[in-house]
Structures are given as C-alpha cells and as structure tokens.
Amino acid sequence: MSQSTPSAIVVGAGVVGLCAAWSLARRGAAVTVVERGSVPEPRAASCDHHRMIRLSYADPGYCARMSEAYAAWEALWADLPGGGTRYYHARGVLTLSRGEGDWGDRARAAMDVAGQPYERLAPGEIAARFAHLEPSNVTYGFLSKGGCLMANHILTDLAERLRGQGATILEQSPVAAIDAEAGEVSLADGRRLSADVVVLAGGVGAQALAPDLLPDLWARRTVILYADPPEDLAEAWATAPAWTDLGGDGDLWGLPPVEGLPLKLGCGAFGIPNPDPEDRTMRAEEMQRMLDAYRGHFRGIERFRIRWGQANHFTCAPEDRFVLRRRARLWAVSADSGHGFKFGALSGEDVAAAALGEVSEAEAARRMAARPA
C-alpha cells in the first residue's frame, strides 16, 4: 500500500459499497467506485424508497451492535446536505409475541441481554394504542427505537457527496474480473483499473467475481407490497410504528406510511432461494397472498388498495451473518442476508478500517458477524 495517499477501488455502489467509499475517502484514500448500473440501481438490493432500522433482534450480538449502527449513520448524515427527515423517520418499531419461544419472544430476550431499552405492552394496551391492529391471541408486545431509513435519498446524496470530495463514480461499468494479487479490476468494456485496495461489495454479483472467497453465499428473492389502508383507518396509520414481527410464525414485517409513500408490507416466509436472476416482478397472485397473510393482524385488510409490488434479490450467508474476507489486495464483503441496509454505515466503517490496516481482518470480520470477542 502507498505510504502517502492510498488508492481504493470499490466494486458495487449499493449501501455498503458507497459507505465503504465514504469511509475510505474520510481516511484520505483516493477512491473510485465502479457500478454495473446506475446509482441508485433499481435492480440492486439496496434500492428502495425506504428500509427499516430497529434495535430488536433475536440475536444478542446484532441487537447490541445496533447502537453503533445508529452512531455511524448520524456521523454520515452530518456530512450530507439533507436535513430533517430526508434520511430518517423515527416512528418506533412494534414487536409482538404470541407465545414463548416465537421470534418476538426471542427478540425481547435478546434486548434484555444486550441492554437495549423497550416498552413492554400488555394485550389490552396494544389494542388501546394501535387502532389499526387486530391483536388477537397476542401474549405481549414491546415498542422500541427505530423507523424508516430513506434508502434512495441516502444513496443519491451519498454518491453526490463522494463526487464532491473528488471520488470517481463509474456508472454503467460492469466488472469482468478482479485480480486480487495485482489489485486490478477489468471492466467489460476493456478498461483496466488498479489500486492499493479493492473492495468487492457487489451484492448478488459478488460471488461470480470472487468464488474462492465467497463460495458459501446464495441469492434469495423476496417480495414487498405497497398499499393504502381504507380511509377510516388512515388516521390510525398516520402515527403507527413500523413492525418487525406480529407474533407466531408469520414472519410479517413492514413500514407505515411516511413522506407521501403508502405503507409497505413484507413477509419473510415468502422468500425463494436461488431464484431466476430475471424473476424481478411481483405477480398478482403474490400480491393477493401478501394481503391474505395479514388477515387477522390488520383491521380492514380486505379493503386495502394495492399500489404496486416489488421483487428484490439479495445475498444470503450462513446463519444470516455478515461476511468479510481477504485475499491479497482484495476485500470481499457480503453484508446483506435481508438485514444489511440498517448496518450500511457501520459496515462501511468496518471495511475501510480493515482495508487500510487500522484493525485486523479477523477483528473486522468478527465485528461484522456480531460474534463475541
């Protein structure tokens, strides 16, 4: 690595790639970002109107790490031009449990281990405070810090900030190969770039570029539905929190209406492993299935008006752990597994610190995987 100004190439302009580029630039590196599509790229896992950020996790390690994630976001937002709620809407996050050992119950236990604060709610309190819910058969719930990260605003402004700092962002520039030993990136159009450090944050395309470093990853297709509640429930939804689980084995999560957007309905159980790469459209039957999954949870679900549906592909790793692996000058990172955006700023810090030698590869990988020291 150069003793004066280190150079870095970041492959992939999703949230982890852009945040790593920002963290590298803050440390004095000359940065080039290479993106196969546009920024934001509609087909990328990071691209959406908004994403959830939450303290609640069924894993104590990631639960504890969320405090660092918030601090990393706040440091990044302080360097961006937007203000107010351009990047974050604090709505709180509601988690319900319908019995001992379900996801909500495990998440509450993890919150206790991690020392994260929450407000515990009895069934009667849930019914009284949240008129949009049908909280039948709920044992208890808890409300904790969280809300909506405005994903596309973050990606757009972060890319512009990087350009303003002198970074180069090459859009519509697919990568054909990476030479880890030489620190060389070959583009599909024949161009070759080289740097002291190469960071591969290419999402579902990363494995093809570094199969030896990322042999155990796989792609997963998920669907989300945007819809409007009926008018008689609009007032209740206007102040509703996000939800990370509604109890039982439904794996239901989503975001309330914010900034003129309709509410966002998700169901983790609808994911499909190793999908057709071109299967990017949410079908009509999938939209109806999503609404059906919320029957008995949301009042008036049969009167919700569908606005649009989306299908997204993201990378998964064993145990849903984030991965950071190195060979020579190449650092390959997979920080997704369906919960990567909320850690984007922190993952970028971890990658940059490791790539420039501030911490060891093992320590950075341990932090990202939220494993104990």
- The answer on 222 and 133 residing in a single domain is yes
The number of distinct structural domains making up the chain is 2
Scanning 145-283, the segments in alpha helix (DSSP H) are 151-164, 206-209, 234-238
- The answer on 260 and 223 residing in a single domain is yes
Is the backbone peptide bond immediately before 40 cis, with ω within 30 degrees of 0? yes
Half-sphere exposure of 119 (CA within 13 A, CB side): 12
In-domain check, residue 71: no
- The answer on 267 and 122 residing in a single domain is yes
Residue 16 and residue 74: Cα distance in Å, rounded?
Answer: 16
Q: DSSP strand E in 167-217: where?
A: 168-170, 175-179, 184-187, 192-194, 197-200
In-domain check, residue 265: yes
- The answer on 43 and 180 residing in a single domain is yes
What CATH number did the domain enclosing 100 receive?
Answer: 3.30.9.10
- The answer on 171 and 35 residing in a single domain is yes
Name the residue range of residue 31's domain: 7-47+152-216+320-368
Residue 23 and residue 348: Cα distance in Å, rounded?
Answer: 6
- The answer on 364 and 225 residing in a single domain is no
pLDDT of residue 84: 82
- The answer on 24 and 156 residing in a single domain is yes
In-domain check, residue 69: no
In-domain check, residue 135: yes
pLDDT of residue 83: 83
- The answer on 312 and 244 residing in a single domain is yes
Tell which of 273, 291, 316 closes a domain.
316
**pTM, rounded to two decimals:** 0.96
In-domain check, residue 68: no
Phi, psi of 183 (to 5 degrees): 65, 40
In-domain check, residue 173: yes
- The answer on 229 and 300 residing in a single domain is yes
Residue 84 and residue 259: Cα distance in Å, rounded?
Answer: 12
In-domain check, residue 291: yes
Paired with 186 in beta bridges are 177, 192
CB 159 within 8 A of CB 13: yes
pLDDT of residue 2: 46
CB 128 within 8 A of CB 26: no
CB 19 within 8 A of CB 155: no
CB 215 within 8 A of CB 327: no
CB 236 within 8 A of CB 129: no
In-domain check, residue 83: no
Residue 11 and residue 180: Cα distance in Å, rounded?
Answer: 13
pLDDT of residue 107: 98
Residue 219 and residue 178: Cα distance in Å, rounded?
Answer: 21
- Quote the distance between the C-alpha of residue 185 and its chain's center: 26
Tell which of 272, 293, 316 closes a domain.
316
Mean pLDDT of successive 10-residue stretches along the chain, which has 373 residues: 81 97 98 97 93 97 97 97 93 97 98 98 96 94 98 97 97 98 98 98 96 96 97 97 96 96 96 94 97 97 97 95 98 94 98 98 98 92
- The answer on 263 and 172 residing in a single domain is no
- The answer on 344 and 255 residing in a single domain is no
- The answer on 259 and 169 residing in a single domain is no
What CATH number did the domain enclosing 167 receive?
Answer: 3.50.50.60
- DSSP secondary structure, 78-145, as one string: TTSS--TTSSEEE--EEEEESSTTSHHHHHHHHHHHHT---EEE-HHHHHHH-TTB--TT--EEEEES
